[in-house]
Amino acid sequence: MNTLRVSWLYLKLGVLNELQYRVNFFVSLLQMAIALVTGLVVLALVYSHTQELNGWTKPELLCVLGIQILMGGLIRTWIQPNMTRLIEEVRDGKLDFTLTKPEDSQVLVSVREVRIWQVVDIISGAVVLAVGVSRITTNVGVGDAIAFALALLLGAVLIYCFWLVLATVAFRVVNMWHAVELFDGIFQTGRWPVGIYPLWLRFGVTFLVPIAFAVTVPAEALTSRLNWETLLFAFVFASVLFGATRWFWRFGLKRYTGASA
Amino acid sequence: MVDLYLATMRMAISEQFQYRTANYFYMLGMIAEPVIYLVVWTTIADQQGGSVNGLTAGYFAAYYIVWTLVRNMNIVFGAPYWEHRIREGDLNRDLLRPILPLHYDIAYFAGWKVVVIVLWIPLAFALSLLFDPSLSPNAQQIATFAIAIWGAYLIRTMFQESLGMLCFWTTRGAAIFDLYMATELLLSGRLVPMPLMPEWVQQISRFLPFQYAFYFPINSLIGDLSGPELLRGLGAQLLWILIGFGIFRVAWRFAIRHYSAVGG
């Protein structure tokens, strides 16, 4: 309960903060439009040379694109800003202020930042997804929709865990910036269903960086490709990783001695 | 001037070799992009019995592996960094020097490229083992390629620096820079080899600088261009470098008149 209250407070604070910079909203909007048009042109180009890609039709890949944009928006609104701030504060010693607060430290470092303008990505992703779904010829049933929502949630949890582990490593390795850049590059693999990648890469974007769970699995749910074993596996994987991440965070914190201050 | 270039390049080389791990991480992050394109087009080629528009899987592998080097050569002092340079007051220091900051940027990044090329070789080797490219250039093509990657570097430097002049007027150029990058992505050959683009797109891009910084260098090594065609390509590169430099000089003159210092 407390967790929710603190998150809500920080969300309000973040909104108030960003409302001061209204022009940024239009810049975000323009950037979103450019990225979206580029994505659609790439899709059109691919399907001007083929009817289907590894069994996925164009509307189905439109769903994949929508989910990838939506998930990317979610990451840039909450996960990434918080984690980069954490990495930064470990380096210049400001993290100590947060650790002295009488609240769970993992909750605090995970909800402090909200980039509200990035929500345009979440919305545009949802629109692309809706257009994709409306063009799919097979019926999307209620069961598919529930499985999709569940898969999306699990995917978000997995991505969050991945980022927190990465940021926790910053307690020991000061320069984690390159890892951030590396993630941005690798997240682009989510534009396409992971089935097209060679085995080594498929393994990497499934278990090392859980992009397959964040994008492809929800898309499979919508296109009636998902079997319940996969969903169950995603659930178990997310639970285990969440527990492990919490343990790792505490472990990292225990060895943290503060930088300056 | 030559001394300045050599000294700056030497400095850049020794500085960047110290950060070789950082450089490697950066290069690895960039590998994702061409690998994605390569996998997509190889999948399509395989589905259609081996080739798309006459381009085989082996060609795509060669294209996108050479792509990685050209892309690395294409990293220059980007337009968005002008904002940083102005905001932090670095520009004030640069202006005290008796030469254009442009020359310093060209020299510094050129030195960095030497490090990048050395680091790229093992990466290219690994990618070749994974994707099996078909590549058999002759001496003429190799020589052209060796020059063309530097031509690409200069073309992109000129246009990015010119675009960076916008930062003298606005701190919110991000959307414009994105638009430029998106146009470049589609018209340069960065996304796909130009023959896969619709005919009218190819016609338009013939009159723009973008493909001379991407498609031409790659194609000079893996395509089947004749001697005169290779020379004509290098000539076009030179032309675009000069045009870009001209644009920069004009933009710079207006920008610097508009400038009043920030920070210090």
* Owning domain of residue B149: 2-258
Lowest-pLDDT range of B80-89, B130-139, B205-214: B80-89
| Chain A environment of B179 (Cβ under 8 Å) | 30, 34
Put simply, whether B204 touches A (Cβ < 8 Å) is no
A261 pLDDT higher than 60: no
Which element (helix H / strand E) includes A239?
Answer: helix A228-254
The neighbour count for residue A37, using CB atoms within 10 Å, is 13
* Total domains in the fold of chain B: 1
Instruction: Classify residue B180: in a domain, yes or no.
Output: yes
Instruction: Classify residue A259: in a domain, yes or no.
Output: no
Spatial contact of B44 and B52, defined as CB atoms under 8 Å apart: yes
Q: Across the interface, do A42 and B196 touch by the CB < 8 Å criterion?
A: no
B236 pLDDT higher than 80: yes
Global ipTM: 0.87
B71 pLDDT higher than 90: yes
Interface of B with A in 60-79 (CB under 8 A): none
Instruction: Classify residue A138: in a domain, yes or no.
Output: yes
Instruction: Classify residue A242: in a domain, yes or no.
Output: yes
Which element (helix H / strand E) includes A95?
Answer: helix A95-99
* Total domains in the fold of chain A: 1
Show which residues on chain A lie within 8 Å of chain B, measured between beta carbons: 23-24, 27, 30-31, 34-35, 37-38, 41-42, 45-46, 48-50, 52-54, 175, 178-179, 181-182, 184-186, 188-189, 191-192, 196-198, 200-201
pLDDT at A22: 80
In Å, how far is B29's CA from the nearest CA of chain A? 4
Number of CB pairs, chain A paired with chain B, less than 8 A apart? 85
Considering only CA atoms, give the Rg of chain B.
19
pLDDT at A232: 94
In Å, how far is B105's CA from the nearest CA of chain A? 23
What does the DSSP 8-state code read for residue A22?
T
Residues in chain B: 264
Between B191 and B175, name the one with better pLDDT: B191
| Chain A environment of B43 (Cβ under 8 Å) | 53-54, 196
Q: Across the interface, do B36 and A49 touch by the CB < 8 Å criterion?
A: no
Between B244 and A118, name the one with better pLDDT: B244
Put simply, whether B175 touches A (Cβ < 8 Å) is yes
Put simply, whether B166 touches A (Cβ < 8 Å) is no
What pLDDT, in 10s, does the model give residues A62-73? 999 999 999 999
Instruction: Classify residue B264: in a domain, yes or no.
Output: no
Nearest neighbour of B43 by CB, restricted to A48, A53, A189:
A53
Instruction: Classify residue A74: in a domain, yes or no.
Output: yes
Put simply, whether B201 touches A (Cβ < 8 Å) is no
What pLDDT, in 10s, does the model give residues A29-59? 898 899 999 999 999 999 999 988 988 999 9
pLDDT at A37: 94
Nearest neighbour of A185 by CB, restricted to B33, B48, B196:
B33
| Chain B environment of A188 (Cβ under 8 Å) | 32-33, 36
pLDDT at B263: 54
Between B187 and A143, name the one with better pLDDT: B187
Residue with tokens 């470990």: A90
pLDDT at A260: 54
For A75-102, what is the mean pLDDT?
86
Query: Which of A249-258, B12-21, B154-163 is predicted most confidently?
Result: B154-163
pLDDT at A259: 58
| Chain A environment of B191 (Cβ under 8 Å) | 42, 45
Say what the alpha-carbon torsion angle B4, B6, B11, B17 is, to the nearest 10 degrees. 160
Dihedrals phi, psi of A139, to nearest 5 degrees: -75, 135
Between B183 and B17, name the one with better pLDDT: B183
What pLDDT, in 10s, does the model give residues B25-60? 788 878 889 999 999 999 999 998 889 998 999 999
For A150-160, what is the mean pLDDT?
95
Tell me how far CA of residue A184 lies from CA of A72, A204, B31, B73, in angstroms.
Answer: 9, 15, 12, 20
Instruction: Classify residue A261: in a domain, yes or no.
Output: no
Instruction: Classify residue B263: in a domain, yes or no.
Output: no
Q: Across the interface, do A189 and B43 touch by the CB < 8 Å criterion?
A: no
Instruction: Classify residue B28: in a domain, yes or no.
Output: yes
For B157-181, what is the mean pLDDT?
90
In Å, how far is A22's CA from the nearest CA of chain B? 12
Residue to mutate among B41, B43, B127, with most A CBs inside 10 A, is B43
Strands B51-52 and B55-56: antiparallel
Instruction: Classify residue A34: in a domain, yes or no.
Output: yes
In Å, how far is B144's CA from the nearest CA of chain A? 30
Q: What is the 3-state secondary structure (H, E, C) of chain B?
A: CHHHHHHHHHHHHHHHHHCHHHHHHHHHHHHHHHHHHHHHHHHHHHHCCCEECCEEHHHHHHHHHHHHHHHHHCCCCCHHHHHHHHHCCHHHHHHHCCCCHHHHHHHHHHHHHHHHHHHHHHHHHHHHHHHCCCCCCCHHHHHHHHHHHHHHHHHHHHHHHHHHHHHHCCCCCHHHHHHHHHHHHHHCCCCCCHHHCCHHHHHHHHCCCHHHHCHHHHHHHHCCCCHHHHHHHHHHHHHHHHHHHHHHHHHHHHHHHHCCCCCC
CA-based nearest residue in chain B for residue A24: B172
What pLDDT, in 10s, does the model give residues A89-132? 888 888 888 888 888 888 888 888 888 888 889 999 999 999 99
B262 pLDDT higher than 80: no
Q: Across the interface, do B25 and A179 touch by the CB < 8 Å criterion?
A: yes
Put simply, whether B197 touches A (Cβ < 8 Å) is yes
Per the prediction, chain B carries an average pLDDT of: 90
In Å, how far is A40's CA from the nearest CA of chain B? 12
A191 pLDDT higher than 80: yes
Dihedrals phi, psi of B215, to nearest 5 degrees: -65, -45
d(CA B258, CA B169): 8
Residue B124 structure tokens? 């290219």
A176 pLDDT higher than 80: no
* Owning domain of residue A35: 2-254
